Amino acid sequence: MDFELSSEQVELQRMVRDFAQREVAVAQEQMDRDHEFPYDVWKKWSDLGMAGILIPPEYGGSGLDSLTYILAMEEMGAVSQTFALIWQVHVMVANMYVHLGTQAQKEKWLPNFASGAKLGAFALTEPGAGSDAAGLRTKAVRDAKGEWIINGNKIFISNAGTKISDGTVLMAATGEQDGRRKSISCFIIPMGTPGYTLGQSFDKMAWHGMDNRELVLEDCRVPSDSLLGKEGAGLRQALAGLNLGRIVFGTLGGALTRACLEEALNYAKERKQFGRALSEFQLTQAKLADMATHAEGIRRFAHYAAWLHAQGQDCHTEAAMVKLMGTRLAVQAATDAYQIHGGYGFMREYRVNRLYREAQILEIGEGTTEIQQLLIARSLGC
């Protein structure tokens, strides 16, 4: 891998950093307080071509690669994990359309995803199916006319209930394989489809500006051309897309670690105890040194995994490693930064309070820490 970034990539990093600090930082405070989706900022972000970062130019996208996407993600994640995750889910869904969609599906949906006029959502998780994705109970049955009738419930679905949400990609069982395993397929569910209802939204620990809610499907009828990809291949298709998602989560862990370092270092230099700045105490210095080392290590590893992905090489294990490493170390960094702040870290007005809350979910999303450990162990022949 060439470790020198192109001039275009460096310029993109600068642009994202400036936009995040100028536009998103203020919106993040509002999101954390008001729990509202940042429509104005999303529009400005989309106007920069970022909603369609991986969508080919012929559909209105920017057509950039995975590494460039990750470079942008780490800059955004250092300022707002919430906005970064809104963007990540949207990009993941758009990418599924790029790789799995028919020509008609691409022409219908991708221009709106690229412009940010429509926001993508991915509905896999159910009350009884999280890490055990194959255990989902939502079913799709084909009727005599060839239409699909879908029944079931989804939970914790991100981006599903905003004013611009549409074209949700939903996973449902469409039969059995080998008489025992469920045959799972992907479906496109337009907003307003009869039988498709937005359920309760959730009061979360963090990510307050991101819409997360239940979806209810009661005799939800969609036409035969709503199938995305091959019938019965949905789980394999979804899991293939998780590699990039796991690299993103690891990257966000690194970005959060970097943000924790900045907050803790600034506070430790200003805060005086026993007549000295906290930064002069070796125990504090050790925490700061760990944060700096971990942030750089995560960043380098994430860049390598993203480069593999961009080259079309197998990165299944590397993606799991980045996710495991980045999110675990982010939790440690947030805990240490919180500890350095002492009682002030308990106060919501301090940024470290939000960083501490945000760190906790990183070990859950896109596959839990335990799932990543199992995947890595399998690669070792265990």
Q: Single out the residue in 82, 115, 148 at which a domain terminates.
A: 115
List, run by run, the mean pLDDT of 10-residue segments along the chain (382 residues). Answer: 86 98 96 96 98 98 98 98 98 97 98 99 91 86 95 97 98 77 91 97 94 98 96 86 94 99 98 96 98 98 97 95 98 98 96 97 94 97 94
- Residue 138's nearest CA partner among 98, 93, 195 is 195
pLDDT, position 181: 63
Which residue, of 74, 90, 115, is where some domain finishes? 115
| pLDDT score of 110 | 99
| Spatial separation of the C-alpha atoms in residues 276 and 271, rounded to whole Å | 8
pTM summary value: 0.95
Q: Identify whether 1 is part of a domain.
A: no
Q: Is 116 helix (H, G, I), strand (E, B) or coil?
A: coil
Q: Is 366 a catalytic residue?
A: yes
User: Domain for residue 80, yes or no?
Assistant: yes
Answer whether 276's CB lies under 8 Å from 268's CB: no
Burial class of 203 by CB neighbour count within 10 A (0 to 12, 13 to 18, 19+): exposed
For residue 374, what pLDDT is reported? Answer: 97
Catalytic residue among 126, 263, 363, 366: 366
**Domain total for the chain?**
3
Please check whether residues 51 and 128 belong to one and the same domain: no
Query: What residues contact residue 289 under an 8 Å CB cut-off, 6+ apart?
Result: none
CATH number at residue 258: 1.20.140.10
Q: Give me 258's structure tokens.
A: 């970097």
pLDDT confidence of residue 238: 82
Q: How far apart are alpha carbons 278 and 49 in whole angstroms? A: 43
For residues 273 and 333, state if they share a domain: yes
Give the range of the structural domain holding residue 345, as residue numbers without chain letter. 236-379
- Contact (CB, 8 A) for 149 and 119: no
Q: Is 358 in the same domain as 293?
A: yes
